[in-house]
Amino acid sequence: MGEVRCSALEGAADGWGTASNRADAARDRIDKQLVASLAATQEGEAADAAVARLRGLSRNFQFVYTECGLVRTTLNSLAAELRAPQRRLREALEDARGLKFTVHEDGSVSYPAAGENTLTKEKLPGGTAAGSAAPPLLAPPQALRSPNPHAARAQEIADAIARAVAEAREIDARYARALRKLTAPDGLRVTDAMWADVSGDATAVRGLADEYLRDAIPADRSPAERRAWWDGLTQERREEYLAVFPAEIGNLDGIPAEVRDAANRDNLRLLIGRWEGLEGAEGRGGDDERVRTRLAGLRAIDEQLRAGGNPPMYLLGIGDEGNGRAIVSYGNPDTARNVSAYVPGLGTALDEDFVKNDMKRARDTAIGAQKYDTSSAAIVWLGYDAPQMPADKASGNLAVMSSHDAQIGAPVYNQFMAGLVATNHNADPHFTAIGHSYGSLTVGQAAQRPGGVPGADDIILLGSPGTGAKSADELGVGREHVFVGAAENDPVTAMPARIEARGMATGAASGAVVGGALGGPVGAAAGAVGGGAAAYFAQDAQADDREIWYGTDPAHEAFGARRFEVDDGPRPFLDGEGATPAHSNYFNPVKDAKSADNIGLMVSGNSGEIGTERWR
């Protein structure tokens, strides 16, 4: 083992790294040049077929990029682990050489005659110590050892050699198993099953690379310190992190947006592979619907990313914990002068509805802001578990009535915003925190934490059931920088104060049942909110019109925010659009042009030009 050349392993790793980088470059060229050019200039079945084949080729290159990157890190990690026992072996051999002991091929150590027999006065004979890899506590007692003064030292050296060799063999066996798995069939054609295998391969390699790579990731440091850590890495080390730890790097606040995007796109493919493996697995019980829903959401995001478009998309976060995590930016938040981060609310999860609704809201915000300042980016932040309200649990699990999820999400949101501040290139960027529905409570809770929302210049509350604050002054940006959009026909903005909510639970339960029958979980959530509000409106019993469910009504004069102009919106049920149509229209430039335009003005830093309306 002393002759093992770790540099040779690292040289081989460099070769695999070169192959990985070339595959990545080829994939990038296909996605950003060939596919984009075809889609922009050609139409028809032939063009569609060509695009499909190119995307298949891109998928193959992504597979090669990932697997070669895993091999590179496996070899580098093997070299790093072997260095420790190799160093201890060399130290033992140096000790033996200095004492003129002889080390044999089997690791035993011979020592010369020394000392003297107290009776005969002759030198005590030399001998040979056989090494043991057992812990020192299991060594034979002193009484059983040779009285030769060299014997104990020879035994120490032999044991050190045995332990170093045993450790090296264990390391070699572990890495050999991992490398044997990093193979692909001849005639590479990547299938869903192969991606499921890649997900498992990546998990195995990450386990091997903990000491080599993962332990150095500054997970418990500030976003600014993480940015400095990343900037200080060599290009080779960055490539390894992206190949082996895309989830950790992609979701680490303080890492540049382009790096997070690259890491998360790769992690997205691994997540799809893992969930595809779950889809085909047996014995999941009643989990089929959850797997299908999650997989549909992941695939929908992947499809949007591959389709491209303008503003360009950046995947700043992706994960499958809880109800799912996804953070998508339209426009680069590092280079944009104006950056907004919108927190969605009740019923939001990583599914197709998130892609169709919440991602569209962020895109509409970016487009609206770019009308007034092209240097604008807009983000949808699903970085927490928003409360869910399935119809079959509506009577006993009204999570929306608790601030628990918002309180957990608030510090996570603040950490994300601190990351945006750390990576933005502008000397004086303009940040806007946006909360919609229950998400406005999350933003409100974040704003009331010590120091407020990092970097936030303005806060926008849309369809808010309250923030937990008595006045806008408690949100950390000054009341003149807190903006509220509350449609007259949005029942969520008039949810009664808790003390006056008699009958609301009954209304929510019945509304959830009706909504669930019409529109599944999202319909149930909307129905519950609409039913509860309808029950409240029916009883017309609110004693203090300043108070709604989570504190002072943000649209009320007592709160002190700036209420901007929005459309009244359709009436619940009466106008034939369901329980809460006005609650969903604030970002929509077609259904509520007034609100969407005002949001664009505020996000772009032109809040002085918004249209306002009277407080409640």
Looking at residue 601, the DSSP 8-state letter turns out to be H
Residue 302 has pLDDT above 90, yes or no: yes
Q: Which of 447, 463, 470, 440 is closest to 557 using CA atoms?
A: 470
Task: Quickly state the pLDDT bin for 490 (edges 50, 70, 90).
Answer: very high
Task: Quickly state the pLDDT bin for 426 (edges 50, 70, 90).
Answer: very high
| pTM of structure | 0.80
Give alpha helix (H) positions in 427-575: 438-447, 504-539
Give alpha helix (H) positions in 209-245: 223-231, 235-244
What's the CA gap between 230 and 228, in Å, rounded? 5
Largest distance between two CA atoms of the chain:
115
| pLDDT for the residue 62 | 83
Residue 201 has pLDDT above 70, yes or no: yes
Average pLDDT over residues 425-440: 97
Average pLDDT over all residues of the chain? 85
Tens digit of each residue's pLDDT (9 = 90 or more) over 135-190: 765 555 554 567 888 999 999 999 999 999 999 999 888 888 888 878 766 666 77
Residue 6 has pLDDT above 90, yes or no: no
Tens digit of each residue's pLDDT (9 = 90 or more) over 46-57: 888 888 888 888
pLDDT above 90 as % of the chain: 54
**Interior/surface letters 165-198, b for 16+ CB within 10 angstroms, e for the rest:** bbbbeebeebbeebbeebeeeeeeebeeebbbbb
Residue 526 has pLDDT above 90, yes or no: no
Tens digit of each residue's pLDDT (9 = 90 or more) over 304-351: 998 888 999 999 999 999 999 999 999 999 999 999 999 999 999 999
What's the CA gap between 63 and 341, in Å, rounded? 33
Angle at the Cα of 390 from the Cα atoms of 385 and 393, rounded to 5 degrees: 110
Average pLDDT over residues 595-600: 98
What's the CA gap between 441 and 496, in Å, rounded? 15
| pLDDT for the residue 209 | 79
Residue 44 has pLDDT above 60, yes or no: yes
Neighbours of 10 (CB within 10 A): 17
Residue 522 has pLDDT above 70, yes or no: no
Residue 543 has pLDDT above 70, yes or no: no
**Token pair of 536 as six digits:** 């409240």
Task: Quickly state the pLDDT bin for 262 (edges 50, 70, 90).
Answer: very high
Task: Quickly state the pLDDT bin for 32 (edges 50, 70, 90).
Answer: confident
Residue 517 has pLDDT above 60, yes or no: no
Tens digit of each residue's pLDDT (9 = 90 or more) over 210-249: 777 888 999 999 999 999 999 999 998 999 899 889 999 9
Tens digit of each residue's pLDDT (9 = 90 or more) over 414-424: 999 999 999 99
| pLDDT for the residue 390 | 58
| pLDDT for the residue 194 | 74
Residue 523 has pLDDT above 90, yes or no: no
Tens digit of each residue's pLDDT (9 = 90 or more) over 452-465: 999 999 999 999 99
Average pLDDT over residues 425-454: 97
Task: Quickly state the pLDDT bin for 514 (edges 50, 70, 90).
Answer: very low
Most confident of 273-282, 403-412, 505-514: 403-412
Helix (H) or strand (E) holding 404: helix 404-423
Task: Look at 534 and 214; give whichever has higher pLDDT.
Answer: 214
Average pLDDT over residues 429-442: 97
The long-range contacts involving 539-546, CB below 8 angstroms and separated by at least 24 positions, are 539/502, 539/503, 541/496, 541/500, 541/502, 542/496, 542/497, 542/500, 543/500, 544/497, 545/616
Task: Quickly state the pLDDT bin for 516 (edges 50, 70, 90).
Answer: very low
Average pLDDT over residues 431-449: 98
Residue 374 has pLDDT above 70, yes or no: yes
